[in-house]
Homo-oligomer: A and B are copies of this chain.
Amino acid sequence: MFPKNAWYVACMPDDIADKPLGRKICGESMVFYRGPEGQAVALEDFCPHRGAPLSLGKVENGKLTCGYHGLEMGCDGKTVSMPGQRVRGFPPIRKFAVIERYGFIWVWPGNPDLADESKLHHLEWADNPAWAYGGGLFHINCDYRLMVDNLMDLTHETYVHASSIGQKEIDEAPVKTVVNGDEVITSRYMENISAPPFWRMALRGNNLADDVPVDRWQVCRFTPPSHVMIEVGVAHAGKGGYDAPAEHKAASIVVDFITPETETSIWYFWGMARSFNPQDAALTASIREGQGKIFSEDLEMLEKQQRNLLAHPDRKLLMLNIDAGGVQSRKVIDRLLAQEATQVTV
C-alpha cells in the first residue's frame, strides 16, 4: 500500500540522457525518456502493438520508437505512426505526470488529472549555488515504510553504523517528535561530545579542527509520500550548536527519497547536501563515497527484517518513544491512503 497520487523521484536526468529507461514504480512498469522539447516523459512500458517493453526502444529527436517493430509512440501515450500502418485506432497507453526539478525526475504514478506541481515541496539546497549535492541509488527488497522507520529513528546509527557516524551518545540523548500537518519532525541534540569519524572528515572538509568537543544535532523531517530530509551536523562545542555561525560548524542535509517499486521493494535515492565548501568537488566525492558505504550497511538489516515480518505477519511490533517518528509518519501515510481510497488513481 502506497499513495499513488503523489510525487516520487523516478530517476536522475543522466539516466535518460542517451536512451529510454525502464523502471517499475509503485507497481507500474514505466518507460522514461526525453520528448521533442527535451521534456521528461513517463509512459507505460508496454507497446500497444504486441506488448514489447518500449524501454528497449530508441529515442531520436525526442521520438520514442519501439525496438521490436518500429511503432512510434507519442508523449501523450498515443501512437504517432508505424511503418505501413494506419494507427488512428490504436489503443493509447497510460501517460504519467512528470516534473523535472531540483536535479531529479519526479513521477506521479496515480491519476495525472490530479497531479499538482505545487505539491512538490521546495528544496532550498537544490537550487542554491551555496549548496553542493552528491548522492546515489540503492535497490532494496523491503517495504518503503521500513526505510521511513529507519530514517526517522537514528538510534540505529549507534549499532548499524558504529564505525562512522554512530556513537553511544545518540542512544542517551532523548528524541522529540512533533507533527505539523503532514510533516513529522524528530529531533535530537547532543552537547559537548567527540565527533565520530565521518564528522571529523566533514570538519576537516570545512577547515575546522576535528579533535575538539562538538555539539551535534539530527533533525529528521518526513514529508509525504515518503521523503525524509535530515538536518545533521556538528559545531565546535559552545558556539551555538545547530544555530552556530557557519564558520564554526559542518552542517548538511541527508536527503532520502524512497520510491516504492513493489509492496516489498524500493528504489532508495540517498544523498547529502551541504552548505560548506560547495565548490569543492573532491569533498563532494569523498562525502558521497563515505555516505554510500555507510548507507549500504542498512541493506542486509532491512531485507532480513522484511523477511522476518513476512514470516510473522500477525506479530505486533513495539512502538517506543524512539519509534515515534516512524509511527507518526505512518499515520500520515495512512491518512493519505484513506483519502486516495475515495479518489481515482488510474
Interface size class of A (residues with CB under 8 A): 35 or more
Which of A63-71, A194-202, A240-248 contacts the other chain? A63-71
Bound-state Cα–Cα, A311 to B301, Å:
30
A158 at the interface (CB under 8 A from B): yes
Q: Residue of B at shortest CB range from A69? A: B155
The answer to the question of A46 belonging to the interface, with a C-beta cut-off of 8 Å to chain B, is yes
Contact of A156 among B51, B68, B82 (CB under 8 A): B68
- Give the residue name and chain of the B residue nearest to A168 (CB): B83
Please give, as numbers and ranges, the residues of chain B lying within 8 Å of A51 by CB-CB distance: 305, 308-309, 312, 315, 317
Query: In the complex, which residues 24-66 of chain A have their Cβ closer than 8 Å to any Cβ of chain B?
Result: 29, 45-46, 48-53, 56-58, 65-66
Indicate if the CB atoms of A52 and B322 lie closer than 8 Å.
no
Is A300 close to B, CB under 8 A? yes
A159 within 8 A of B: yes
Please name all residues of chain B whose beta carbon is closer than 8 Å to the beta carbon of A301 when the two chains form the complex. Answer: 52-53, 56, 67-68
Contacts of A256 in B (CB 8 A): none
Tell me whether A295 is interfacial, beta carbon within 8 Å.
no
How many copies of this chain? 3
Which A267-322 residues have a C-beta within 8 angstroms of B?
300-301, 304-305, 308-309, 311-312, 315-318, 320-322
A84 interface residue, CB < 8 Å from B?
yes
**Which of chain B's residues have a CB closer than 8 A to the CB of A57?**
159
B52 touches A304 (CB 8 A): yes
Most buried by B among A83, A174, A315, A318: A318
A83: B residues at CB distance < 8 A: 155, 158, 171-172
Chain B nearest CB from A279 CB (Å) reads 38
Q: Which residues of B contact A320 (CB under 8 A)?
A: 49, 82, 85
Interface presence of A100 (CB below 8 A): no
Residues of B within 8 A of A317 (CB): 48-51
Contacts from A to B (Cβ < 8 Å):
29, 45-46, 48-53, 56-58, 65-70, 82-85, 90-91, 149, 153, 155-156, 158-160, 171-172, 174, 300-301, 304-305, 308-309, 311-312, 315-318, 320-323
Task: Give 6 A-B pairs besides A49-B320, A56-B301 with Cβ atoms closer than 8 angstroms.
Answer: A51-B317, A53-B308, A57-B159, A69-B322, A70-B155, A91-B316
Name 5 interchain pairs, CB-CB below 8 A, sorted by A.
A50-B149, A68-B305, A69-B156, A70-B159, A82-B320
